[in-house]
Amino acid sequence: MNRPSPDYDVIIIGAGPAGSLASSLLVQQGYSALVIEKETFPRFSIGESLLPQSMIYLEEAKMLKAVEEAAESLGFQYKNGAAFIANDQYSDFNFSEKFSAGPGHTYQVKRAHFDQLLANEAENQGADFKFGCLLTSLQLEPEPVLTIQTEKGISEQLTARFILDASGFARVLPRLLDLSQPSDFPVRSSVFCHIKDNISDTDYDRNKILIETHPELDDVWFWLIPFSDGTSSLGCVAKPEYFEQLTTADTPEALLDQAIAETSRFQTLLASSTKTSDTRQVTGFSSNVKQLYGRNFALLGNAGEFLDPIFSSGVTIAFKSAKLATDILNKQFTNQPYCWQTEFAEPLQQGVNTFKAFVNSWYQGDFQNIIHFKDAPTEVREMICSILAGYAWDKDNPFVQQPERRLQVVGGLCAS
């Protein structure tokens, strides 16, 4: 007996960047895709500083033009690099001066607007979206069957050939399938908000994300992500113990204020700033999973592994995973040879491991020594710049081939 045709070729959980990009790539290949999202857009999300590598995937999904055309009206800030401050020592990297080929600029975006824009574009291309829907049950075999509940409490059952989990920090399938496992990173906490920055300093470069290290604690750092409308995203990342010792602060807002008061550059730069959003705190954001794919499912972006926000790698990894997964699904659906391990998990993990090595090196101090070493050879700075720009899959870059060893050696030379 022939089974009835599924409702969709692919159902995607989550309408963030990975979900929208995956749905776009699928419908362009002629497949039906549904994205289910528990929240109603637009909604706030962190992860606002994109990397130039992301522009390649946006262009392939035919979304880049829409992003560029909407940039000014939505407050997206042109971004051409990254700047770092430690004990008043300033160092910056221009993405145009990188080792790898590819775009040398991107945007810093308000995710509420950015995610809504991508979802709208994917929907215009033919993907279906259901917002305000909660996944209540899931069956993966023999074919995926999902039960969702709308905001009005109405239940609906849907079938598909495959499930992609792009649920981000919600990590829907890892929770349902018991795939979560502890991250390799220590538990860290972040406090953050949006501000009207009122920055008047003419030396401040709004085209770059600015990272400042605490003057006494190398593993405590602060971000300032400017937008083109005069607002910025402001945050601090540290182990929970750091925030606990800020004894006069008992709310996220007070924690952030007191932490900023311990900086050198930020407190001066933001002396006239005012908050435009609630201050939020997130603890234990790093995550890992036992596997990235299985029978009739795969995990995209943060639903799989999230490292740390220091190098803004989240959206780039999300886009890369969506691209890899949709390419394999096309092979799978057209009866071509395919392998999720060698064509998805391993190549995705290669770039993740590169970012991971850089994150570890940052907190160990080697990478901080490298970026603030004034006499670093030009070719080394260009290779480092490529990773900061998101080109963590460029195997021609020696810092992709052997990231841990090279960072340790170069970091030691820069410290001596």
Q: At 198, which CATH number?
A: 3.30.9.100
For residue 87, tell me if it sits in a domain.
no
pLDDT single digits (tens) 380-407: 999 999 999 999 999 999 999 999 999 9
* Same domain (yes/no): 217, 245: yes
Contact 255, 281 (CB under 8 A): yes
Supply the range of the domain harboring residue 394: 354-415
- The pLDDT of 229-244, averaged and rounded, is 96
DSSP state of 5: P
pLDDT > 70: percent of the chain: 99
* Same domain (yes/no): 34, 116: yes
Strand partners of residue 90 = 85
* Same domain (yes/no): 270, 394: no
CATH number for the domain harbouring residue 14: 3.50.50.60
pLDDT at 416: 65
* Same domain (yes/no): 60, 178: yes
* Same domain (yes/no): 41, 177: yes
* Same domain (yes/no): 114, 16: yes
Q: How confident is the model at residue 1 (pLDDT cuts 50, 70, 90)?
A: very low
CA–chain centroid gap for 264, Å, is 28
* Same domain (yes/no): 118, 230: no
Indicate the number of domains in the chain.
3
- The DSSP annotation for 141-194 comes to SSS-EEEEE-TTS-EEEEEEEEEEE--GGG-HHHHHTT-EE--SSPP-EEEEEE
* Same domain (yes/no): 54, 171: yes
* Same domain (yes/no): 199, 166: no
Alpha-carbon torsion (201, 204, 210, 213), positive or negative: negative
Contact 393, 351 (CB under 8 A): yes
For residue 94, tell me if it sits in a domain.
no
* Same domain (yes/no): 14, 109: yes
Contact 237, 115 (CB under 8 A): no
